[in-house]
Amino acid sequence: MKRIIFPLDVSQKNDAIDFVKLLKDEVEIFKIGLELFCKYGPEILNDISKLNVKIFLDLKLHDIPNTVYGAVKNLLNFNPFFITIHLEEYEKFRKFVFDKTNFKGFLGVTWLTSLDENSLHFLTENKNMSVIDFVLKKAEIYYKSGCCGIVCSAHEAKKVKEKFGNKLKIVCPGIRLSESSSDDQERIMTPEKAIKNGADFLVIGRPIREANDPLGICRKINAEINENLG
């Protein structure tokens, strides 16, 4: 199994299809997010799944259980591999969403990798709250709800792995080939370190998409990952 998840963060359907065709041998899962989905709707899911690849639907669903259930029921017609969700509690969601849909591919969003600890202090009005404590709390909610995994930065992956072992898949965005990258991501890490920290999947967008040779970069990252997996 490969570990790269490639986000199709492009505005044109044809560009997304071209990336899937180019990278499908080196990428495990293709992520469709808000940009493409808001432009093309579910039609984009049909077009990408025709290319026989796994789809990660990153719509970060966040609403009352009954509304999320209605949305998920419709999305399951397109056979996604993962769907992202935000939860603050687990009992109602387990009962009204997870048990009713019986879908096993929910990933819980913990703390966006574009946010740092200051944003968490501002939100919670608690200067003692650390990102790792917050992520572990959210991970517990996601585990108890029936999610198969969580999305977190590779900086938290190690502690999550220590606490949950293989009970939760760890999906890490904020991956950069060098630690000095400066875009909107805050808590970044290289693929090598992220895998050593226990990440199961790496979401890598711009470092691949903006490279002169996206396929070559994917091959290089896969080789590096395999080395670190021993």
Residue among 2, 13, 24, 60 flagged as catalytic: 60
Q: Which residues bind ligand C5P (CB under 6 A)?
A: 7, 9, 33, 109, 112-113, 151, 173-174, 185, 203-206
**Any catalytic annotation for residue 60?**
yes
The residue at minimum Cβ distance from ligand C5P is 205
- Residue 72 or 109: the one with the smaller Cβ distance to ligand C5P is 109
For the chain, the helix, strand and coil percentages under 3-state DSSP, each to the nearest 5: 50, 15, 35
For residue 151, report the phi and psi dihedrals to the nearest 5 degrees: -110, 125
- Cβ of 174: how many Cβ atoms within 10 Å? 24
- Residue 70 or 156: the one with the smaller Cβ distance to ligand C5P is 156
Q: How far is the CB of 189 from ligand C5P (least distance, A)?
A: 11
- Residue 62 or 92: the one with the smaller Cβ distance to ligand C5P is 62
Q: How far is the CB of 126 from ligand C5P (least distance, A)?
A: 21
The SS3 assignment for 14 reads helix
The SS3 assignment for 66 reads helix
Q: Which helix (H) or strand (E) holds 149?
A: strand 149-151
Q: Tell me the catalytic residues.
A: 60
